[in-house]
């Protein structure tokens, strides 16, 4: 009697372990696919970044006034100041 009960318990535990193993295998396969897709996306983004760097993707924005404009305004101001004071 005890032997039969022990065998049934072992079969039950074996079935539980097999179901957990199959769940783990499914999870591992899903994570493997997800990892592969993430690596592909990362590679695509790196290629896009490299192509943008080669093209000089970001243009430099000039801040302030150009030197020639400042020089001309200063020259005109000096000339007007000289004409007014003379």
pLDDT-based confidence at 78, cuts 50/70/90?
very high
**What's the pLDDT score for residue 42?**
97
CA distance 73 to 13: 91
Full-model pTM: 0.52
Summarised one tens digit per residue, pLDDT across range 14-62 is 999 999 999 999 999 999 999 999 999 999 999 999 988 888 755 666 7
- Following DSSP, what letter does each residue of 18-83 receive, concatenated? HHHHHHHHHHHHHHHHHHHHHHHHHHHHHHHHHHHHHHT-SPPPP-S--HHHHHHHHHHHHHHHHH
**Residue 75 Cα distances to 28, 47, 70, 83, angstroms:** 75, 51, 9, 12
**What's the pLDDT score for residue 1?**
86
């Amino acid at each position: 009697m005890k032997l039969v009960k022990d065998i049934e318990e072992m079969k039950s535990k074996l079935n539980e372990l097999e179901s957990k193993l199959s769940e783990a295998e499914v999870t591992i396969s899903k994570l493997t696919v997800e990892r592969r897709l993430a690596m592909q996306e990362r590679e695509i983004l790196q290629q896009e970044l490299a192509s943008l760097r080669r093209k000089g993707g970001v243009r430099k924005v000039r801040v302030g006034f150009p030197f020639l404009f400042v020089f001309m305004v200063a020259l005109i101001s000096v000339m007007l100041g000289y004409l007014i004071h003379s």
